[in-house]
Structure 1
Amino acid sequence: MTGEIRGETRRDGLRLVHTAHLDAASRQAARALLDVVFEGDMADDDWEHALGGWHALVWEDAELIGHASLVQRRLLHGGRALRAGYVEGVGVRPDRQGRGHGSAMMTALEGVLRGAYELGALGSTDEGERFYASRGWQRWPGPLSALTPDGVVRTEEEDGCVHVFPLSAPLDLSGELVCDWRDGDVW
């Protein structure tokens, strides 16, 4: 493994670590991995969204082969601002996919979700939808919006792409879900 990271490495090579304890070499390895996984479609804003929370990292010897992160966001729903754990930057090196690494990372992050948040949320590609559904994540069928500097703005292009992991917050899946503002893709 490159650099010093606080946290315990499990037998399967998974390590759960906060961004604050992620050394520069590991950050670079994670960003490079996601560039490969997303075939160059990982913008700087996308990487920025994955920082500031927990990272589930899968290592094989000294090589990073999997990354997923969980950051805190505020989602508005039913007249409440909910403390949400938002999953970002999930990827496994293409030649290591299908071996349970994605499930191991999500299991670790879902454990954090259960202990710290009112709900989980994530934006999924079409390819990832079945994976998340098999883990209990539910597609949000209601309208999606963002709380922008100009007020609440509908984000129709994201409808059907957001999934939630229900925890303690009462949810009406047909109702509106509003995310907090951030640069780049808001969802």
Structure 2
Amino acid sequence: MSRARVVHTSGLGPAEIAEIRSLMHAAFDGDFGDEDLEHGLGGIHALVRDPGDDALIAHGSVVMRRMLHGGRALRCGYVEAVAVRADRRRAGLGGLVMDELEAVIRGAYDLGALGASDDGEALYLARGWQRWRGTTSVVAPDGLRRCPEEEGSVFVLPVEAPLDLDADIACDWRDGDVW
């Protein structure tokens, strides 16, 4: 039985970060760049290794972001870089990773949020994440900017903060994909 190791980015060495990047690159068919990796660093990681050969087979991280909603700046545990190696999918490893990340979110944040891929939606919905039905925006250097291309793919995990899923939610600015 596989188990997840939970560790802050500071506890990862360069070799493990390279393994994470390699897993993400393969899982997203080469569409995972340096900015995407950067988004997943600086928080808590859940890593699952193959008990036979110690290869990294699943990963996810949760990083702190700020979300603006209902006139409040909320502390958000934002899920990044979730993937399972192709030959190990549909064996519960994504759920194992999410168990650990959700525990961090519930223990430290007002809400959880993530931008889901089409392949990941079913996992998140089955775990109680809710699709954001309202508009999405970013607090950009030049002011509040709508992100209509993200609408329908943002999911939230309510924890402490009251959320109106039909209203606007805005994330903090970052380079690359803001959601």
With normalisation by structure 1, the TM-score equals: 0.93
Structure 2 residue corresponding to 1:110, chosen from 99, 102, 106: 102
Matches within 5 A, 1:70-89: 70-89=62-81
Equivalent of residue 15 in structure 2, options 25, 31, 36: 25
Out of 160, 163, 167, the position equivalent to 1:168 is: 160
Structure 1: gaps of 5 or more residues: 1-10
- What percent of counterpart residues are identical? 55
Q: Name the CA distance, whole Å, in 2 between partners of 1:185 and 1:13.
A: 31
User: Following TM superposition, by how much is the alpha carbon of 1:13 offset from its aligned partner in structure 2, in angstroms?
Assistant: 3.2
Asked if residue 94 in structure 1 is aligned to residue 86 in structure 2, the reply is yes
Which residue is equivalent to 1:57? 47
Report the aligned-residue RMSD.
Answer: 0.8
Letter aligned with residue 55 of structure 1: H
Query: Match for 2:176: what amino acid?
Result: G
Q: Provide the aligned length of Structure 1 versus Structure 2.
A: 177
What's the counterpart of residue 142 of structure 2? 150
Is 2:60 aligned against 1:68?
yes
Which of residues 5, 9, 15 is equivalent to 2:5? 15
For normalisation by structure 2, the TM-score amounts to 0.97
Query: What letter is aligned with 1:67?
Result: H
The answer for unaligned runs of 5 or more in structure 2 is none
CA distance, structure 1, for counterparts of residue 126 and residue 4 of structure 2:
21
Deviation at 1:43, TM superposition (A): 1.3
- 1:57 corresponds to which letter in structure 2? L
Between the aligned partners of 1:153 and 1:77, the Cα distance in structure 2 is 14
Q: Decide whether the 8 Å contact of 2:69 with 2:168 is kept in 1.
A: yes
SS of 1:126's equivalent in the other structure is: coil
